[in-house]
Structure 1
Amino acid sequence: MPRTPNTRLRRLMETASWSPAQLAAAVNAVAVEHGQQMAYGRSTVSRWLSGTTPRPPAPAFLLEALARRLGRPVTAYDAGLTSIPARTAVSDLSWQADPLRKLAVLTSADTGPTRRHHLATGVFTLTALAVPEAADLARPTTATRHAPPSSTSRVGRTEVEHMQTMSRLFAQAAEDHGAGHVQPVLNYYLNHSVTGWLHAPATGVIQRQLLIHASQSMTLLGLMSADCGADALAQHCYRTAAHLAAEADDMTAFAIALRALSAHAHELGHHTPAVHHLAERAADATRRAPLAVRAYTHTHLAVTRAHHDRHAALRTLTTAERLNDTTHNTPGPFTTYSTGALHYQRAQTLTTLGDHKEATHALTASLRHRTTDERRAATLTRARLAETLLVQGHLDAAMVHWQAFLDTYPLLHSARATRSLDAMRQLLRPHSRHHTAAHLLAQATGIHP
């Protein structure tokens, strides 16, 4: 049977001013970001235009490439990949949806295997960095919510304190062992306890506190999802955290969610103006926040500014350090900012600015300030310090830190640590004739991520 030409895809390409070869190159680039090597070319796109439906995972990469070029989300229907403008797997996660509904969708094991797979393995999208203003997200939706039949009892301060305690426990467990085994437990807790409390009768004060802690927990779930390599799911968690914070009218929690969303994109190698703008919004939203949160947002702002303005980056870094010096930390994942973390961000800023020597000093300081409760962070800092030393030609010094990294790596279940392991293998391969380097490579080969 003759195929029907894909006119919708052709129109999108015309709007994007892309030739078939340019579209193919953009799709290949998105695929590489997600760990896959594709060899699409002009002839491949010509077949798509003639009506051939690309096989997975090509559609996801195609839609993301078009969305980035056009600056807006592009659906499968928009691109002519389906004839039915069907409800998408993440349609319940739009900004128009109730944030409590979004929390339930993201954490429920009953969303169905197709949707759960999509949320866990979906494509990281830059269009997700477009976040409305908090005032535009805050809506009086609580009056229309009803408690589930099994959750009719009134909730109060006990549930709020329970959420605070559990956030500390989950955050510490992820720091000790990586997020791999902790994320599913937090997911279950949010779905089976927190969701019910958010729908139960409560005073206005308690309802607001529940929303704030739910926002923080969703940010924590996003951080854990990113550490598990579920980057699309992490984005949805951060966006939902921002929405919950906006409904609670809490700019501190809103800023933390924006900072996490921006930092996640930066960690994946995206240094676009959109990433920087989100970091700016996060810092601006902390004007009345505790000093620890202000330092937290400003260090990341310095990192993003380093890609655009050297002097602005250094000024922002100085501001962050001054804020941190005057901070009186309250224990907790959202009330404290460690000195080790600040020095790590300082090193990131200096590395981007090309000052590897000072970045080495910052990473050394970061490692020195890491406490025994920061095992995952210390391990990742070791890996980054080794990479920075190698850039400067200090192979022997680098291998000392890579050995320490390998000693701790098996204790972590972390996709980010696995990426550091892969980077170590790649960087040491040219030095494989060196006795110690060969030993490290052999040791790394025996490690199963």
Structure 2
Amino acid sequence: MANRTRTPNEGLARLLKQAKWSRSQFALVINRMGAEAGLGLRYDQSAVSHWVGGTVPNPPVRRLIVEAFSRKLHRTVTHAEAGLPLAAFDQAPPGVDTVEGIVDLGRADMDPSRRGVMAAAGLFSAGLAVPVFSAPAHATEASPVTPGKQTVRIGAGQVEAVRRMTDKIADILDELGGAHARPMAAAFLVNTVVPWLRAEASDTVKKDMWATAADLVYLTGWMAMYERDHGTAQDYYVKALKLAGRAEDHVTYCRTLRGMSLQASNLGYGPLALKLADSAAEAAPKAGPRLQAFLMGQQAHANSMVGDHRRARSLLAETEAALMKADNRRESIGGYNQSAYAFHVSHVLHEGKDLPGSISALQQALKVMPSNERQGRVHFYAVLAQRQLEYGHLEAACESWARFLEDYEHISSARGDEHFDTMRLRLKPFRKAQAVRQLSPRIADVALLKA
């Protein structure tokens, strides 16, 4: 006979202990909340014991369970935390899967010590189905519906707070690196943004909050990507797409697709990078010149990866023309400037085997890079040094790596760590050369600081 032993629900047992509810008390709470939702429930202690023992209640009751704990513990409790499967999308209230997914991602992301566990749990999927931009929906359908009345109401001030916090996190990312900024973003998402997504608001405020939340989720995914946590990054990106779709925010939707294209290109998936870049450009609304440049620059890079260099050069010309029409306003999310354009030129030239041209474009990118973008300089100088060494210019490469070390010392970034390891590996065969011997003490000092 098959073994029908159920796995005990440790998550539910843990939450009961945190809430200090007996099983009888919890049954009464669920019955009372069921009445709020128009459900005639008659559960008792034995039903709760069955749930703790591994029996899965039906979808409406699961939602009552997580809402009951959320109210009692004054935080968002997800189905996953309660050891319960989320109902199929057509049975769940709109947005529940997205919001709960953000909470689960964010809680794991708030603790940098769990990064290794997270990376092992989720892998980048090259065959992921991308959520399509949804048809216009009523804003009232965008927020998760929970039993009972919401006790919090938000307005334009809360939307502006999320926008400003997103800008501040982007600044910290630029100056100190993703390892510092990413846990902050995750904590803000879980502790502040998610409760506001669940709050009462006017239709306009609801849509604005979902749009601003999409920006922050996109930024958090961007940081995860550059921290080499690609499975988590992809999860954040998909959540951002869903949020943007519900907010009817075409700009953030296209920006996120472009970020997914960049991730695919970083991992060497040229055809996928091109597909996502083209999708972002095709789905874009009547965009301003800066957004056009932002999208076309990535298209150019992706086209060069699949060998269509003629199309890549044509797109670069269009990118430059669009950027010339843009104003000088700095955008923390999805910003694109002359430095980013020159970096795309360098990528296209490198894919086309024009190594000297690629090096010159990188040098130009660094020349016009804003002074506060330390993390960008770390990446640009590291790539420049690698290409200079590839071209046979060891002394020039060492000079670039010395500049890399100046900024790398001050940031915390997995991408920077990867560049540091690459530098030491590439220089090992040349350790007797004068330029390398002069740089070696500095490398050793930074290695001790980062240990």
- If the TM-score is normalised by the length of the shorter chain, which range does it land in? 0.7 to 0.9
Q: Letter of the aligned partner of 1:401 in structure 2?
A: S
Alignment of 1:11-410 (within 5 A): 98-108=97-107, 119-127=118-126, 129-135=128-134, 142=141, 145-146=144-145, 152-271=151-270, 273-308=271-306, 309-334=308-333, 336-410=335-409
Alignment: residue pair count: 362
Q: What SS is found at the alignment partner of 1:362?
A: helix
Q: 1:93 to 1:375 in 2, by over 3 A?
A: farther
Instruction: Please tell me the residue identity of whatever aligns with 1:263.
Output: L
CA distance in 1, matches of 2:110, 2:223: 20
What is the DSSP-based 3-state SS (H/G/I as helix, E as strand, rest coil) of the residue aligned with 2:419? helix
How far 1:257 moved relative to its partner?
0.8
Determine helix, strand or coil for the equivalent of 2:180: coil
CA change 1:416–1:150 in 2 (3 A) is farther
Structure 1 residues 166-186: Cα deviation after superposition (integer angstroms, max 9, x where no partner): 111000101101011121111
Q: How far apart are 1:338 and its partner, in Å?
A: 2.1
Q: Between Structure 1 and Structure 2, whose CA radius of gyration is higher?
A: 2
Contact 1:367 1:381 in 2 (8 A): yes
Change (3 A) 1:163 1:400: same
How far did 1:188 drift?
A: 0.6
Structure 2 Cα separation of the partners of residues 149 and 408 of structure 1: 52
User: Partner residue of 1:50?
Assistant: none
User: Does the CA-based 8 Å contact 1:151-1:196 persist in structure 2?
Assistant: no
Q: Is the 8 A contact 1:157 1:206 kept in 2?
A: yes
- Equivalents in 2 of 1:228, 1:263: separation in Å? 14
Tell me, in whole angstroms, the C-alpha distance in 1 between the residues paired with 2:157 and 2:147: 20
**SS across alignment from 1:411:** coil
Cα RMSD of the aligned pairs, angstroms, is 3.2
What CA deviation, in whole Å up to 9, does each residue of 1:205-255 have, x standing for no partner? 111111111111001101112233322111100111011111111111001
Structure 2 counterpart of 1:367, which letter?
L
Aligned pair in 2 of structure 1 residues 141, 116: CA closer, same or farther (>3 Å)? farther
Matches of 1:444 and 1:177 in 2, distance apart? 20
The one-letter code of the counterpart of 2:281 is: A
Q: What is the identity, as a one-letter code, of the residue corresponding to 2:336? A: Y
Give the superposition deviation at 1:120: 4.2
User: Structure 2: 5+ residue runs without aligned partners?
Assistant: 1-79, 91-95
Name 2:22's counterpart in structure 1. none
Query: What SS does the aligned partner of 2:260 have?
Result: helix
Cα deviation code 1:6-51 (max 9, x no counterpart): xxxxxxxxxxxxxxxxxxxxxxxxxxxxxxxxxxxxxxxxxxxxxx
| 1:95–1:137 Cα contact (<8 Å) kept | no
- Output the TM-score relative to the length of structure 2: 0.73
What is the rounded CA distance, in whole Å, between the counterparts of 1:442 and 1:267 in structure 2? Answer: 31
Identity %: 27
Any stretches of 5+ residues in structure 1 without a counterpart? Answer: 1-85
1:130 deviates by: 2.7
**Given the two structures, how large is their TM-score scaled by the length of structure 1?**
0.73
Is the 8 Å Cα contact of residues 294 and 334 (structure 2) preserved in structure 1?
no
More divergent stretch after superposition (416-425 vs 166-175) = 416-425
State the AA in 2 paired with 1:408.
D
Letter in 1 for 2:170: A
Query: In the aligned structure 1, how far is the partner of 2:225 from the partner of 2:97?
Result: 24
How much has 1:307 moved relative to structure 2? Answer: 1.8
Equivalent AA in structure 1 for residue 130 of structure 2: V
Once the two structures are TM-superposed, the CA of residue 445 in structure 1 deviates from its matched residue by: 4.1
Distance in 2, matches of 1:267 and 1:204, equals: 39
Change (3 A) 1:409 1:250: same
Deviating more after overlay: 102-111 vs 156-165: 102-111
- Provide Cα deviations, 1:281-327, integer angstroms capped at 9, x if missing partner: 11212241222122111111111100221101111111111111111
In structure 1, give the amino acid aligned to 2:185. Answer: L
8 Å Cα contact 1:228/1:415 also seen in 2: yes
- CA distance, structure 1, for counterparts of residue 357 and residue 103 of structure 2: 45
User: Counterpart of 2:330 in structure 1: which amino acid?
Assistant: P
Listed one character per residue, the Cα deviations across residues 27-84 of structure 1 (whole Å, up to 9, x for unaligned) are xxxxxxxxxxxxxxxxxxxxxxxxxxxxxxxxxxxxxxxxxxxxxxxxxxxxxxxxxx
* Distance in 1 (alpha carbons) for counterparts of 2:122 and 2:108: 20
Asked if the contact 1:292/1:329 (under 8 Å) is kept, the reply is no
What is the CA-CA distance between 1:153 and the residue it aligns to? 2.8
